[in-house]
Amino acid sequence: MKLALAQFEIEGGKPSANRQRARTLVREAAEKGCDLVALPEIFNVGYFAFDSYSREAEPLDGETITELQEVADDLDISICAGSIVEDLAESTARGFDTPDEEGYANTSVYIDSSGDRRGVYRKRHLFGYESAEQDLLTAGESVTTVDDQGFTVGMTTCYDLRFPQLYRRLVDAGATLVLVPSAWPYPRVEHWQLLPRTRAVENLCYVGAVNGIGAFEEASLLGRSAVYDPWGTPVASAGERERLVVADIDPERVEQRREEFPVLDDRLDE
């Protein structure tokens, strides 16, 4: 599989412009022969644009996801639609299962190359430190994986990286690749470079951590998206500028590493 991470500038409260940037990079990924492209956290509204959440929230079949389904089908590429602010009441009214019948969630959607919604993940760990996320959003409850193109893809979001138990549960569910759409800000550069690499090492799986760039009143996103292999080696990465990060990844490499170094077999009850 050829995996792409779409790192781009996200403007707070400008969903139309942000969606256009996302579509442009998805098309570029398809032109490069990529099979899967991942977008950053709340890429359409901007994570730190808290005042825009209620105004720009959408159901699962709203404009953002519907557009990306059409693009995925047209370009024959799978898309991890980073995340959007989901309007739970609207999603419930349209027949989707939700953790609550009202409020909002930080929701990622996995779209396959036929344009079908294959997985929905609502962020489980909501950030509280200097963030309004815990006050504005409802936490998800599911552990979500999707089988696609030889991989079992685990879905997580940003702050989830600080909770290794979730990644163990994903491995128990068969995950060989974990995607981490994020809106990781300065000054925590070292944390961003350490945590996804650690999750790859301890679970012997690929980790694709995709971040945005751009400045908000509260914070600036630090970019530095990267793909780590099952040994924790960065195989593709970006700096602070807009870039499509592309890496060739192989599910057999996960199997080989787990056979060569069977640390997961030595786990005690947790």
Active site residues: 41, 123, 158
Count CB atoms within 10 A of the CB of residue 164.
14
Distances (CA, A) of 77 to 1, 31, 147: 11, 10, 14
According to DSSP, the residues that pair with 79 across neighbouring strands are 37, 111
Strands 206-210, 226-228: pairing is antiparallel
223's CB contacts (< 8 A; 6+ apart) are 7, 211, 212, 213, 238, 239, 240, 241
Report which of 237, 178, 249, 172 is spatially closest to residue 211, judged by C-alpha positions.
237
Q: For residues 194 and 208, give the distance between their C-alpha atoms in angstroms, rounded to a whole number.
A: 13
Q: How far apart are CA 159 and CA 42, in angstroms?
A: 13
Length of the chain measured in residues = 270
- Establish whether the linkage from the previous residue to 230 is cis, with ω within 30° of 0: no
Residues 93, 57 contacting (CB under 8 angstroms): no
d(CA 179, CA 201): 15
Q: Under DSSP, is residue 213 helix (H, G, I), strand (E, B) or coil?
A: strand
Q: Which amino acid is at 267?
A: R
